[in-house]
Amino acid sequence: MHVLQERTGPAELAAAIVHAARAGARGLVLHADEAAGTAARLARCLDPGFEITVREVRGSTSAPATPDPLPVVLPGADDAGPLVSELESMGLEVVLEQGEWRGELAGLEVARIVRWPSETGGDDLLHIEAGVGRFDRDATALMHGVEDPETALRRAMDAVSARRHPGVATNPVSVLARSRWMRSAAVTDPGALGLVDLQPVETTFPPASVREERPAAALGHRGDGESVLVVFGAGTGFELVPVAVDTRELQAPGRTVVLVVPPRDHMASLDELVAAGSAAGRGVVELIEVDPPWAT
């Protein structure tokens, strides 16, 4: 089966695999205008029982796509320690993603540690900026520029906690970053997943903003000491499995991947992709259902 896609990301690749499998195809040739190298890298981690070939479209012809390298995990700033401790002392979960420290409450970013460059009038030092995402941080700085950072952060935390807690009615804040909310709840209580510990790590496809729903990952250990990569998906659809197995290559090669989804997200297509992830020979992929924190 030949499929032409303008851009092939994790979800598009997975959808093409499921479509080909259900059509009884003996092979899948994916022609991609953009991100062909990324699709080729992802395809190596999936075996649906037939060969997947990714070709990069070049004008009126195409050529085999060369798999892109895995992204690099960037370290955080060396001088961020005191500010990280300050965020933790306020009850926030501090995670490092794309080289930046973020303070999250129930999985939603409410603060970020940012360096103010002298080129734009800053002091080249790190500062805590409060707000839900970049635009809210900018708005907070404009409206409350002389306000103490802790006061601004407390206000953001109060606003989020009032709208993001177990059993809350659906609202604009409660529907953001739900995969990360599930991860946050599991980090607080890893025993609910049969684990002894759990530490957030970044995936190979981090969200571009707080509004973009993307799988969230964490590394943990089972009672017997086995290290596992746990990937949470709420509303992530087809992309959950490709992102999870790709992240395994970056964070925990060869380890078991445990996918955690709300019951309503467990679809037949997800089972098919889980099987394809395990069959690729790069490690086991498991799937479990967990009631999400917003539903309890």
Q: Which residue has the tokens 């700085």?
A: 141
Rounded Cα distance between 212 and 232, Å, is 14
Which helix or strand (DSSP H or E) is residue 95 part of? strand 93-97
Mean pLDDT for 36-61 is 95
Query: What pLDDT sits at residue 146?
Result: 58
Query: What pLDDT sits at residue 149?
Result: 78
What would the pLDDT profile of 233-281 be if each residue is shown by its tens digit? 999 999 999 999 999 999 999 999 999 999 999 999 999 999 999 999 9
What would the pLDDT profile of 61-101 be if each residue is shown by its tens digit? 999 999 999 999 999 999 999 999 999 999 999 999 999 99
Tokens of 269: 């297509």
DSSP 280: T
Q: Is the pLDDT of residue 54 over 80?
A: yes
Query: What pLDDT sits at residue 135?
Result: 58
Which helix or strand (DSSP H or E) is residue 245 part of? helix 240-251
Residue type, 37: G
Q: Is the pLDDT of residue 184 over 90?
A: yes
What would the pLDDT profile of 143-157 be if each residue is shown by its tens digit? 545 567 788 899 999
Q: How many residues does the chain have?
A: 296
